[in-house]
Amino acid sequence: MNNLLKNPVIELNSDNQGSVDANPSQPSHNSLWSDAWKRLLKNRLAVAGGCVVIAIIIISIAAPLIAPYSYEEQNLESQYQPPNRNHLMGTDSKGRDLLTRIIYGSRISLAVGFAATSVSLLIGVAYGSTAGYLGKKTDNYMMRFVDVMYGIPFMFLVILMMTIFGRNIFVLFIALGAVQWLTMARIVRGQTTALKEREFVESARAMGAGGFRIISRHLLPNLMGPVIVYATLTIPAVMLEEAFLSFLGLGVQPPAASWGSLAAAGVEVTSPVKTYWWLVVFPGAAIAVTLLSLNFLGDGLRDALDRQSKNI
């Protein structure tokens, strides 16, 4: 009883998920994330997926140190060699070491995934939180625009942007991110609509806080769970879209190469007469392992941050 009287805010906030009053208790907020972290560690698939993703990121950063050959080193006498002692994953049409190309390709594939996801989150979170907070006609008009955008094939928009603004890596980032924000906007809008009527938002409004301050200081911190989960699930989706664009010749342009463009190059030289299987299998395996790991991590984060599974 003495502890309750000394620190009533902490006790009252222990069951409210950290967002009841205008100045939520820091211990309660930390407890929420601490519990989520503990639940995440119990999910073996999520932990394994996270470890694989971290390992791939480290490999991409350390590419110049661990790659066995130079990225663009050509040797026409060694072209189309299957996996062997000198070239563990074989060579391509110009005699370049495929393992080296895959290691360097991880940089571009991951960069496309993370950069495009960042663009989509920036647009989606800003748009969705604004629509949800303002509500009424503004919300209705803004979400009807989202509905219209949903009706347009997103890959058509990407191809259109790549055709108009040029085929370079930065346009690819923006193009892929610009078509991935719609779902994020809907998620954030729904969460914002539910949170804006809570007591801590009403208290902040009564204290004279403006709309921007309420959104940035009170609403967005409570939306981080769904945002983080959606981000981990968007990265593999974007990487897969980049691979598809590479098959169409609209992805990363030579001499740079991503996993998708490497697989596309392998498909181009494969025929019923001669099959260079390693040119397709190894880049495809790199894509598959990364996508599976990110999906496992995303599913684990979703379960860990789900308050309904708190006692699981």
Could you tell me if residue 292 is inside a domain? yes
For residue 263, what are the contacts with CB-CB under 8 A and spacing of at least 6?
A: 243, 246, 247, 279, 280, 283, 284, 287
Bridge partner residues of 97 (DSSP) = 91
Asked whether the beta carbons of 175 and 163 are under 8 A apart, the reply is no
Asked whether the beta carbons of 245 and 172 are under 8 A apart, the reply is yes
Could you tell me if residue 5 is inside a domain? no
Could you tell me if residue 160 is inside a domain? yes
Asked whether the beta carbons of 303 and 230 are under 8 A apart, the reply is no
Total number of domains in the chain = 1
Query: Residue 29: what pLDDT?
Result: 53
Asked whether the beta carbons of 139 and 128 are under 8 A apart, the reply is no
For residue 207, what are the contacts with CB-CB under 8 A and spacing of at least 6?
A: 22
Query: Residue 197: what pLDDT?
Result: 76
> Residue 300: which of 40, 32, 36, 33 has the closest Cα?
40
Segments in the chain forming alpha helices (H): 2-6, 8-12, 26-42, 44-61, 63-66, 98-134, 136-150, 154-165, 169-178, 181-195, 199-206, 211-214, 224-247, 259-268, 278-305
Could you tell me if residue 18 is inside a domain? no
Query: Residue 307: what pLDDT?
Result: 56
* Rounded alpha-carbon distances, angstroms, from residue 256 to 57, 107, 126, 158: 18, 10, 33, 20
The pTM assigned to this predicted structure is 0.75
**242: Cα separation from own chain's centroid:** 13
> What Rg do the C-alpha atoms of the chain give, in angstroms?
24
Q: Which two tokens stand for residue 123?
A: 């647009």
CA distance linking residue 293 with residue 287, whole number of Å: 10
Could you tell me if residue 92 is inside a domain? yes
- Residue 97's φ and ψ, nearest 5 degrees, are -70, 120
- Residue 91's φ and ψ, nearest 5 degrees, are -130, 165
Residues spanned by the domain of 132: 27-64+87-309
Query: Residue 14: what pLDDT?
Result: 35
Query: Residue 289: what pLDDT?
Result: 92
HSE of 270 in the Cβ direction (CA atoms, 13 Å)?
A: 13
Could you tell me if residue 242 is inside a domain? yes
Could you tell me if residue 130 is inside a domain? yes
Check which CATH number belongs to the domain holding 302 and give it: 1.10.3720.10
Could you tell me if residue 41 is inside a domain? yes
Print pLDDT tens along the chain (312 aa): 444 444 443 333 334 444 434 444 444 555 666 777 888 888 888 899 999 999 999 999 998 899 888 877 788 788 888 899 888 898 888 888 899 999 998 998 888 888 888 888 889 888 988 888 888 888 889 988 988 888 877 777 777 877 787 777 777 778 788 778 888 888 888 888 888 777 777 777 777 777 677 777 777 777 777 888 888 888 888 888 888 887 777 777 777 788 888 888 888 887 776 788 888 899 989 989 998 998 888 888 877 776 544 444
